[in-house]
Amino acid sequence: MDTSTISLVDTGFLLICTAFVILMTFGVAFFYGGLVRRKNIISMLMLSFISFALVTLQWTFFGYSLAFGPDFMGIIGGLENCGLLGVFADQSTRNLLIPDMVFMVFQLAFAAITLAIVTSALAERVKLSSFIIFGLLWTTLVYDPIAHWVWGNGWAATMGILDFAGGTVVHITAGFSALALVFVIRNRHGFTQYSMNPSNIPLTLIGGALLWFGWFGFNAGSAYAINEIAVNAFVVTNISAAAGSLSWMTASWIYGKPGSLSMISGTIAGLGAITPAAGFVGPIAAFCIGTLAGLICYYALMFRLKQGWDESLDAWAIHGVGGFFGTLCLGIFASVTIGGVAGIIEGSTTQFGLQFLGAGIITLYAIIATYGIAFFVDILFGLRVSEDEEYVGLDLSQHGETTDM
């Protein structure tokens, strides 16, 4: 190691955090898997596993280079780092205390989980081969540019738009892309006609637990070092998650019963919302952000149901809306003493304006680009299985497998 540019302790910390974030993609698998009908559990699980494998290779061969290679006009990275060429395992060229290779693999985990979150909109009806094509295109044309804009010295970074750990890059991108997808792939047969109750809530809670756990790596790791920012991020992440869990649960209690899915959806809402702000706000702000995120995302879910949009597992309502809200919250609650940036509460509206602009443009881009890609894949290959295959279930029709569980 070139210990003049590298800190060993930060490198070790980031490696562990990376493993945590990688576990989260599997967490998404279990979270989503428990929410579908039994005949589609295996299919739902596989979409996340495949997302992870696929993005790993894409990232290795060219995705990382597109996102973090030398900047081209603020829009996209160059191809210099394709095949991880010139990505050093023992030195840093990125002004960080960790080797470039560690940065690369940490970012890989983010790219992968984003695609996994998007599969919410494809639940119980996507054709596997088309998903693979869509996934490759989407990561390349939607995720990689957005990651470049915000974190790879692209236009958003240049303008000063901030996203601590992915509220914009990961959650807005995934959530609004999922929404756009629904308008191409359309609703599941029988949606709104008969109930499509989750078949395995314990599995969903296993996923939720892994997500909560992994999120510490996601947010604390995004400080790229062990320092007060990482410590703060760790603590506020937990507070927001807890606040979101209880506020969503309470909201649904008022209208009916406090289900476990309310609670765990609130957790993810709280986590998604604190993500962009975790390095900039303190504990009490985190409590406010989590509580509000739980409520807002709850109403977003109600709204989507009323619209009859079958964005089946609520990537939009939870990640999309939560991430958008959190990105704004950075502009509201940011505290100079914590992250060096002032929000509205400390009297400055500049950052809020920037956040709003950034989130807005990226939301639009995600929607339009995803719609385009999905439309194209649908025309050429068909995004959706046949009605009979859907009826029989994707486990059997796509994978030839079933589960007793």
Partner 1 sequence: MQKLEIIIRPEKLEQVKKGLDEEGFHGMTITDVKGRGDQRGICLQYRGKLMKVDLIPKVKLEMIVPDEKVDDVIRIIKKEAYTGKNGDGRIFIYEVIKSVKVRTGEVITEW
Task: Establish if 239 lies at the interface with a copy of itself (CB under 8 A).
Answer: yes
Among 105, 157, 271, 329, binds a copy of itself (CB under 8 A): 105
SS3 77: strand
Q: Using CB under 8 A, which residues numbered 177 to 206 contact a copy of itself?
A: 197-203, 205-206
User: Is there a contact between 321 and 292 (Cβ–Cβ < 8 Å)?
Assistant: no
How would you class 345 by CB atoms within 10 Å of its CB: exposed for 0-12, middle for 13-18, buried for 19 or more?
middle
Among 70, 75, 158, 284, binds a copy of itself (CB under 8 A): 284
Q: Is residue 368 a contact point for a copy of itself (CB under 8 A)?
A: no
For residue 298, which amino acid is it?
Answer: Y
What values do phi and psi take at 72, rounded to 5? -115, 100
Report what 197 binds from a copy of itself, partner 1, none; CB cut-off 5-8 Å by kind: a copy of itself
Q: Is 8 in the site for a copy of itself (CB under 8 A)?
A: yes
**Among partner 1, a copy of itself, none, partner that 8 touches (CB below 5 to 8 angstroms by kind):** a copy of itself
Q: Which of 242, 289, 318, 383 binds a copy of itself (CB under 8 A)?
A: 242
Q: Nearest CA to 72 among 136, 140, 149?
A: 149
With CA atoms as reference, report the closest residue to 122 among 53, 67, 47: 47
> Counting contacts by CB under 8 A, is residue 39 touching partner 1?
yes
3-state helix, strand, coil in the chain (%, to 5): 75, 0, 25
Nearer Cβ to a copy of itself (50/185): 50
**Residue 33 binds which entry of a copy of itself, partner 1, none, CB below 5-8 Å type-dependent:** a copy of itself
For residues 311 and 308, give the distance between their C-alpha atoms in angstroms, rounded to a whole number. Answer: 9
User: How far apart, in whole angstroms, are the C-alpha atoms of residue 297 and residue 268?
Assistant: 10
Q: Report 360-389 residues binding partner 1 (CB under 8 A).
A: 386, 388-389
Report the nearest approach of a copy of itself to the CB of residue 218 (Å): 11
Residues between 327 and 366 with contacts to partner 1, criterion CB under 8 A: none
213: phi then psi, degrees, rounded to nearest 5: -60, -50
The piece of 98-106, 140-148, 302-310, 349-357 that touches a copy of itself (CB under 8 A) is 98-106
Note whether 82 binds a copy of itself by CB under 8 A.
no
Instruction: Work out how close the CB of 405 gets to a copy of itself at its nearest, in angstroms, rounded to a whole number.
Output: 5
CB 170 within 8 A of CB 315: no
Report the DSSP pairing between strands 71-72 and 76-77.
Answer: antiparallel
Rounded Cα gap, residues 160 and 353, in angstroms? 10
Q: How far is the CB of 194 from partner 1 (least distance, A)?
A: 4
Neighbours of 256 (CB within 10 A): 8
Residues that bind partner 1 (CB under 8 A): 39, 190, 193-195, 257, 386, 388-389, 391-392, 396-397
